[in-house]
Amino acid sequence: MNKLLVILFAAMLFSCNNQAQVNPKQQDVINAEPMEVAMENGKAKAYFASGCFWCVEAIYESVKGVDESISGYAGGHTKNPTYESSNTGKTGHAEAVEILYDPKVVSFETLVDVYFASQNPTQVNGQGGDKGSQYRSIIFYQNAEQKTIITNKIKDLEKQLGKKVAAEVYPFQKFWIAEDYHQDYERLNPDNPYIQNVSVPRLNRFKRKMPDVLKTNH
């Protein structure tokens, strides 16, 4: 009887872990050397995953110094992920955004502050009702300086909350741009029920937390 309970518990434990994290190939991604993206015309790029990319894209585009936010996939071990394949949890990828920003206007450190201020930092494998490994929180670093900024922010936040921060910290490898219909989704689909009931309220909560970083037209 005791042996049966142990087996059942192990099965439950395995099923609760997302497939992205238990796949051995994922360790190669986590342990890889980070890829640094070169600046172009004075603009830099940063990468974040924090639940549905429709929500995150709109949040970052409200921030001063951010020129563009692009929805896509990152953090996985397969090539050419799609919306359908990433939703299976088997590719290792999470819905992510690529942020094009002016470091003279907004720092990487501030972008990290935006990241944590715009989510539930303790929720594992998702944000709100969006649950699964494809919605997990990942923050990507391109060099040692960025990694230090991220880890220090996490330590401070855990001390403040008294809880573990769920965001994983990955070396940046590659960003795969999502399908065209995902881009600027909140702006182009204002009447969508998800946008009205989830995305816009999440954006507004963030705005109340960090009003000083917002663009004047937001």
Name the residues annotated as catalytic: 52
Q: What is the 3-state secondary structure (H, E, C) of the chain?
A: CHHHHHHHHHHHHHHHCCHHHHCHHHHHHHCCCCCCCCCECCEEEEEEECCCHHHHHHHHHCECCEEEEEEEEECCCCCCCCHHHHCCCCCCCEEEEEEEECCCCCCHHHHHHHHHHCCCCCCCCEECCEECHHHCCEEEECCHHHHHHHHHHHHHHHHHHCCCCCCEEEECCCCEECCHHHCCHHHHCCCCHHHHHHHHHHHHHHHHHCHHHECCCC
Tokens of residue 170, six digits: 């990955």
- CB distance 132 to 144 below 8 Å: no
**Closest Cα partner for 205 from 87, 48, 51, 47?**
51
Beta carbons of 154 and 113 less than 8 angstroms apart: no
